Structure 1
Amino acid sequence: MQQPLAYRMRPKNLDEVVGQKQLVGPGKVIRRMVEAKMLSSMILYGPPGTGKTSIASAIAGSTRYAFRMLNAATDTKKDLQVVAEEAKMSGTVILLLDEVHRLDKTKQDFLLPHLESGRLILIGATTENPYIAINPAIRSRTQIFEVLPLTEEDILQAVEHALQDKINGLGDYPVTIEEAALFHLARGTNGDLRSALNGLELAVRSTPPNEAGEIQLTLPIIEECIRRKALTHDKDGDAHYDVISALQKSIRGSDVDAALHYLARLVEAGDLTIICRRLLVIAYEDIGLGNPGAASRTVNAVLAAEKLGFPEARIPLAETVIDLCLSPKSNSSITAIDRALGDIKQGKAGSVPDHLKDSHYQGAKTLGRGVGYQYPHQNERGWVNQQYLPHSLKHARYYLPKSTGKYEQALASRLQQLQEWKKKSSS
């Protein structure tokens, strides 16, 4: 039986890795390790199909070390012993240990001395947060790197390469693929390259050639093969972004029924990652200080949705959409930081006032660093009148509170009080 396309297209060196340039790009940490021949054990964590196994395979290919793959949940201590013995006899072995968060104490205790010797380079792969799910003894002996979901451009690049590759890919098949189908393959798999490639292979192998001898992949074929419906059959795929935009604008406009409608369309399309990211953006951009508790509830709901997956994920997502829709709205946080960024981009920075500069080094006082700083906690009001902004910006105002929610009304009241104190102190 032929191995799946995603397996056959695994990279043989770091240059062939799709995406993850923050780790394997020129000058980045994993490439530096490989080029300096200073590999250390590591844990790669992130969503399925984003390249954890590919990175491990590429590291092995680039270093020419032996490469072995085991699963912490299903393989035994004896399997680990076989790999360790190989490392003793033949030199360094790279061990990709999938589901490393499932490593029990017996296997862990066996691995620890081998990791310390450096003969066994462990690359643990997990979808779980290693700071929560992995034993501290393993964490302390590894570097932890987050593997990010692939972009649409990353997946499109990999798909096109697979269609052209005559050795490991599908280059021997006379395939044509509609633009809408290609974009849905990239978008509908939510950054999971494994799903995209295996869905592509199923589509190619199960679609009979037409009268011209071509295997023509249409949007309905790709929908069926990746089990994800497209939002519409528009050629350019703009509906994908239109629905996301409509969801945010409906929540911003407090129309709960419209927001639930657009959420349902995204749920039906299976876009869990996109929904979660967008709701987090909305919670902080549009609701913000109008109801800061809603942002915390959104974070918890997103975590629950990601743990549950569809179809159950629709429940916390719907609850969050209703909560955000009916919350008081405030964009004062985003407008405040954008005003501050606007000044920085225009070169309006200025020098930090001397009394605010770091004074925790010898000679700081000689330079006037920290001299004259007043400690607010020593004042009964918890506030003293002193300048914090650079002199050239001392009159700048970035935060302009709104009065749409009780919380921000309280912030506005406190800000007004501080401004009155400042005015009295300066007069």
Structure 2
Amino acid sequence: MLFVQEPLSVRMRPRTIDELIGQQHIIGPHTALYKMIHNGYVPSMLLYGEPGVGKTSLAYAIAGTVEREFFAMNATTSGKKEMEEVVAKARMTGNVILFIDEIHRFNKAQQDYLLPNIENGLITLIGATTENPFHEVNPAIRSRCGQIKQLKRLTKEDILQLLQRALSDRERGLGMLSVRIAEPLLALIAEATNGDARSALNVLESVVYASEERNGEVIVDEQTVLDCVENKGFTHDKEGDIYYSLLSAFQKSIRGSDVDAALYYLARLLEGGDLAAICRRLLVIAYEDIGLANPLMGVKVTAAIQAVERLGLPEARIPLSVVTIELCLSAKSNSAYKALDEAISDVRSGKIGDIPDHLKDAHYKGASVLGHGKGYQYPHDYPNSWVAQQYLPNELVGTHYYVPKENGEEKYYAKVYARLNELKRQHESKRK
């Protein structure tokens, strides 16, 4: 069987933007970027998205379409010296396209050298990153990029089209090998690689070279495909944007009472193995999203976290599944922390009234001379341990921060709060 040294994913890179598969939302024939490039104009741009979605392929395709000199480097391995060589070439030939992968890793000195050469037109920059450029890329770089585009995972149909193209391409693909592979097995590769074009092509290449050749044909069977696709669709980076998006999706699914979505995101987080982050997020959810509607959930989640710490994986998934489902199906309220945020906002905006004298500390010598503690009514000396008296500073009397919700157990708190407010109102009316 003929073996080609260069990986299939590299050989099958599109040569022009018309050969691109997927990403129609940013480079389809209807888009401004497509029209610019076909008219010979390439703006500096930042491309971001998960690994394998086609950032590098798009950069090569753009350069191939405008037929302009193209240089590629990786910010983790290249430095100022390599950029100086590109700039020197540009001074001789005119504008060149410079593709920089992992651009967010450039240090300040490298960026400072790059910026004026973008501004004076020597370099058209195409930067690529797996991170959100609005968080991770220097604002000076961002401001010089006319386009910032997010690439999305390819659809299953996109991947199937890519695989079929690779199988039929006799010049760059596997067409010379006469591969026989059933459509359901191609669909399995497309589904298992979860929108990652590079991974899909790498799997296809592995599958082909792991299969037997009979009578001039490479025959691919199901078991070979299953062996090659195992865990190919799973990615987890504890420092990346997707990691925080997973935690966000997990919490929002619980907040939205979607049990199945919450379990799905929990499964992805568990496969990443970061129990500490999962536990922390569950504890936040118990107080932020469930709150007064079901106050015992904080206790239950704390107990589950203790169980997780003692059990470890894989058994830790059991208490996590229980509290996740219970959080999803619990009544929900965010009224408590929202009330506190309102109070914090008042404090920060300068609403700092004097503490009423009867509430001030009276446990030191001379406090009585100042009138501190004088007239304080001790609630436990009164029926139901409550007595009407002023607690807020004069400037804030009548202010209400807490807005109760009629959810779960908070219905009871809402009634008590309403009754106490009415008694306070009556008390104030009598004073006047």
Distance 1:95 1:293 in 2: 56
Amino acid at match of 1:136: P
Work out whether residues 75 and 105 of structure 2, in 8 Å CA contact, stay in contact via their aligned partners in 1: yes
SS at match of 1:148: coil
Which residue of the partner structure matches residue 140 of structure 1?
A: 143
Counterpart Cα distance in 2 of 1:88 and 1:41: 18
Q: CA separation of 1:128/1:254 partners in 2, compared to 1, >3 Å: closer, same or farther?
A: closer
Residue of structure 1 in register with 2:14 after alignment: 11
Deviation at 1:402, TM superposition (A): 8.5
CA distance in 1, matches of 2:315, 2:32: 40
Q: 1:229 to 1:147 in 2, by over 3 A?
A: closer
Give 2:329's aligned residue: 329
Residue 8 and residue 320 in structure 1: after superposition, are their counterparts in 2 closer, same or farther (change >3 A)? farther
Residue 206 (structure 1) shift: 2.6
Q: 2:213 aligns with which of 200, 203, 209?
A: 209
Listed one character per residue, the Cα deviations across residues 33-92 of structure 1 (whole Å, up to 9, x for unaligned) are: 213433221110100010001110111011111111101111121111111111111122
Distance between the aligned counterparts of 1:118 and 1:293, measured in 2?
60
| Pair 1:48 & 2:51 matched | yes
Identify if the C-alpha distance between structure 1 residues 254 and 164 changes in structure 2 by more than 3 Å, giving closer, same or farther.
closer
Displacement of 1:165: 0.5
Q: Which amino acid aligns with 1:183?
A: A
Aligned to 2:76: 73
* One-letter amino acid matched to 1:98: D
Structure ID, larger Rg: 2
Aligned match of 2:175: 171
- Residue 150 of structure 1 is matched in structure 2 by 154
Task: Give distance in 1, aligned partners of 2:196 and 2:25.
Answer: 18
Q: Measure, in 2, the Cα distance between the counterparts of 1:73 and 1:136.
A: 19
Instruction: Say whether residues 1:64 and 2:90 are aligned partners.
Output: no
Q: Any idea what SS the aligned residue of 2:99 has?
A: strand
* Alpha-carbon distance in structure 2 between the residues aligned to 1:152 and 1:17: 15
Instruction: Report if aligned partners of 2:97, 2:124 keep a CA contact under 8 Å in 1.
Output: yes
Relative to structure 1, the CA distance from residue 33 to residue 70 in structure 2 (aligned partners, 3 Å threshold; closer, same or farther) is same
Partners of 1:149 and 1:65 in 2: CA distance: 28
Residue 218 of structure 1, CA deviation: 2.5
Residue identity opposite 1:101 in structure 2: H
Alignment of 1:34 onto 2:49 = no
The amino acid that maps onto 1:103 is F
Deviations 1:238-280 (A, max 9, x none): xxxxxxxxxx9xx97979xxx97x8898799x799xxxxxxxx
- What's the counterpart of residue 355 of structure 2? none
CA separation in 2, counterparts of 1:315 and 1:75?
45
Are residues 1:200 and 2:201 paired? no
Hey, what's the Cα distance between the residues in 2 that align with 1:30 and 1:293? Answer: 50
Q: Give identity over the alignment, percent.
A: 39
Distance in 2, Cα, partners of 1:291 & 1:15: 53
Structure 1 pair 293–215 and aligned structure 2 pair: CA distance change class (3 A): farther
Match of 1:90 in 2: 93
Stretches of structure 2 that go unaligned for 5 or more consecutive residues are: 234-252, 274-284, 295-311, 333-397, 419-432
Given that 1:291 and 1:405 are in contact with CA atoms closer than 8 Å, whether structure 2 keeps it comes out as: no
RMSD, matched Cα: 4.4
Change (3 A) 1:318 1:161: farther
Q: Give the aligned partner of residue 190 of structure 2.
A: 186
Determine if the alignment matches structure 1 residue 131 to structure 2 residue 134. yes
TM-superposed CA distance for 1:140, in Å, is 1.1
Q: Secondary structure at the match of 1:123?
A: strand
CA distance in 2, matches of 1:171, 1:105: 47
**Which one-letter code corresponds to 2:164 in the other structure?**
E
SS of residue paired to 1:125? strand
How many aligned positions are there? 297
What secondary structure sits across from 1:86 in the alignment?
A: helix
Counterparts of residues 237-316 of structure 1 (less than 5 Å): none
Aligned-partner residue type, residue 167 of structure 1: E
Q: Secondary structure at the match of 2:177?
A: coil
CA contact (8 A) 2:293 2:409 kept: no
CA displacement, residues 150-198 of structure 1 (integer Å, 9 cap, x when unaligned)? 1111101100110011100001112122333212211111211101101
| 1:293-321 superposed Cα distances (whole Å, 9 cap, x missing partner) | 99xxxxxxxxxxxxxxxxx9999998875
Measured after TM superposition, the shift of residue 146 of structure 1 is: 0.6
What are structure 1's unaligned runs of at least 5 residues? 231-247, 273-283, 295-311, 333-379, 383-400, 415-427
1:406 & 1:26 partners in 2: Cα distance?
Answer: 55
Which 4+ stretches in 1 moved above 6 angstroms?
Answer: 251-255, 262-268, 288-294, 312-320
1:107-150 deviation digits (Å, cap 9, x = unpaired)? 11110011111221111111011111111111111131111111
TM-score with structure 1 length normalisation?
0.59
SS at match of 1:172: helix
| Change beyond 3 A, Cα 1:181–1:405 | farther
- CA change 1:76–1:206 in 2 (3 A) is same
Q: Which amino acid aligns with 1:95?
A: L
Question: C-alpha separation between the residues in 2 aligned to 1:184 and 1:271?
Answer: 23
Distance 1:82 1:264, change over 3 A: same
Q: CA deviation at 1:291?
A: 7.4
1:159 matched to which residue of 2? Answer: 163
In 2: Cα distance, 1:293 partner to 1:123 partner: 50
2:120 alignment partner AA: S
Question: Are 1:177 and 1:216, in contact at CA under 8 Å, matched by a contact in 2?
Answer: yes
Letter in 2 for 1:21: Q
Matched, 1:223 2:230: no
**Matching residue of 1:242:** none
Task: Indicate if the aligned counterparts of 2:117 and 2:123 stay in contact, CA closer than 8 A.
Answer: yes
